[in-house]
Amino acid sequence: IDFSRNHFELFGLPERFRFDPDMLDSAYHALQGEVHPDRHAAASATGQRIALQSSARVNEAYRALKDPVARAQYLLSLHGVDAFDETNTALPFAFLERQLERRERAETAMADGDAQALETVLADVRAEAGELERRVASLLDVDGAWAAARGAVRELRFLAKLAADVDAMLAAQDD
């Protein structure tokens, strides 16, 4: 594979936040079918090393494009914007307050063994994340507002982390 190509080019996808996820999956499986190290077991040591590097590159690109937060971060980086620049980590107070309240509700539900309440919190978080993904898509794909999208991408990462935490609480309830 051509290591100079960006993740979108590697899979033949448009350089956009929104694209057909089935196209990504299909392109990923086709590329892995070509470069997977098992297919090159009889190759020279150099050939095996290249296959291993190629497979790792395909996996890295796939993970970055499959996850909405990583995809937005990568897309911004292609346009010279660091979404998670350590010097600017501020999030709107109302957003943080809403997430703190959700986390407290989740922790109370966890302590009470209330899986239904946890499901409700998780649904709320995922609904807000879905709205935010649509906003990020508009900022990136329609407006090309790279710098303006930074805050929304940071919020999206925060929501993804909160959803993962609540999901883990639910899994712990099942144990």
What sign does the CA torsion over 159, 162, 166, 167 have?
positive
Per residue in 59-107, pLDDT tens?
999 999 999 999 999 999 999 999 887 777 789 999 999 999 999 999 9
pLDDT of residue 133: 97
125 pLDDT tier (thresholds 50, 70, 90): very high
Q: Are 125 and 102 in contact (CB under 8 A)?
A: yes
The whole model's pTM is what? 0.89
Per residue in 148-161, pLDDT tens?
999 999 999 999 99
Give the alpha-carbon dihedral of 33, 38, 44, 47, to 10 degrees: 40
Contacts of 93 (CB under 8 A, 6+ apart): none
Average of per-residue pLDDT across 4-22: 95
pLDDT of residue 20: 95
pLDDT of residue 13: 96
Q: Are 51 and 36 in contact (CB under 8 A)?
A: yes
Contacts of 88 (CB under 8 A, 6+ apart): 150
pLDDT of residue 40: 83
21 pLDDT tier (thresholds 50, 70, 90): very high
Contacts of 92 (CB under 8 A, 6+ apart): 151, 155
Position 120 pLDDT exceeds 90: yes
